[in-house]
Chains A and B, each alone.
Chain A
């Protein structure tokens, strides 16, 4: 049933595809970190329409499936002259989707900064930008790092969805290998294990980070 020689022979191409998966995760995570922060800041803006729009964007993105958003980016945007490669579309979709989730994380971090800190920066005559960069964010971000780390792992596990828009990451590669040999058991089992091998130690790492932060 389980063919070892075949399993061994497909490991190198799957590891190659793991590289695509990991790089897509990292790029998307960078987008999500930045986009999330931007959304969180917009949401706190005193200019009402801006905060309202940011809120609506977050709610909408969180209430619709990533897969459909990816289809939208990949199939609809080209009709308006914006053609993206599968990698770019996938990374953009994944990054935008999770920036909505991360904006909530940042928001909780920002709300946890004591009010006195804001008042102190007003008293010190800081400008708004200085207040954010020097006072609020340095206190708001470190406590939420473990949560952001968890989202990194979640995003890693969501990358197989990018196979739906023809990006050849691990799942797509496994499918291609399977259709060549009509053996699906080995490729799918191996990528399942690869996901576990990467994500389980990372989750332990995040947990350790969390306990260390809690001790402080």
Chain B
């Protein structure tokens, strides 16, 4: 369940990050403003508050979300907002000459973005997005608080039935570590690979 939530919210976050990251660079001022508000809002408030808001407050508007959807949505939108900054800064970090070369070759803006800018920006984004994925994995423990039966929630139930608190929580820490640490190593590998052959 924890892995399922991580994957689902990673997809939402990835989409949100790309859409918001690109929209913030748009020439259209209203679009830029709206995304800026989205990003600042989700980065400025706490993930848990967003989660509770979606789960407890939204039903007041007649929109009742099941815990899974609320959890995935909150995690995805929250980390998507952080990810959009990674996307934006990577795109801005592509040297200006590359844009100009695209213009000189008479490419459409969409071609320029797809064929020249994104391939270069993507390799710069990967470590940053990877770090966010690790944060996201750890963030999924919060969905246990809206009664979604992830790893942490199951541990709390086990604890209530057999009281072997030390064993359960130690195991829980180890399990999260086993899931997150390979990701950490992967991100480091990506970082090394991205910086090799450059500079």
Contact = CB atoms under 8 A, between A and B. Distances in A.
Given A157-B47, A199-B45, A200-B40, A65 B60 contact: no
Grouping DSSP codes into helix (H, G, I), strand (E, B) and loop, the B interface class, with mixed when no group exceeds half, is helix
A192 B49 contact: yes
A191 B49 contact: yes
Contacts of B170: 72, 76
A66 B46 CA distance: 14
A58 to B, nearest CB: 11
A8 interface: no
Interface stretch (B86-94, B122-130, B172-180): B172-180
A79 B165 contact: yes
Contacts of A34: none
B contact residues, range: 35 or more
Interface string B135-173: 000111110110000001001100100000110011011
A52 interface: no
Interface in A47-87: 59-60, 62-69, 71-72, 75-76, 79
B61 A188 contact: no
Contacts of B156: 71
A158 interface: yes
Contact of A64 (B41, B142, B176): B176
Contacts of A191: 49
A189 interface: yes
Interface in B43-92: 43-50, 52-53, 56-57, 59-61
Interface in A180-201: 183-185, 188-189, 191-192, 195-196, 199-200
A192 B169 contact: no
Contacts, number: 113
Contact of A157 (B45, B140, B144): B45
Given A68-B152, A183-B60, A188 B142 contact: no
B113 interface: no
Contacts of B61: 1, 185
Contacts of A59: 181, 184
Contact of B165 (A76, A158, A163, A192): A76
B188 to A, nearest CB: 11
A184 B56 contact: yes
Contacts of A175: 52, 56
Contacts of B25: none
A160 B142 CA distance: 10
Interface string A71-108: 11001100100000000000000000000000000000
Given A59-B181, A65-B152, A75-B169, A203 B159 contact: no
A68 B46 contact: no
Nearest to B177: A63
B165 A68 contact: no
Contact of B56 (A64, A188, A200): A188
A199 B42 CA distance: 11
Which 10 residue pairs are nearest across A and B when measured between Cβ atoms? A65-B141, A184-B56, A63-B180, A160-B48, A65-B138, A185-B60, A157-B46, A196-B44, A188-B57, A195-B45
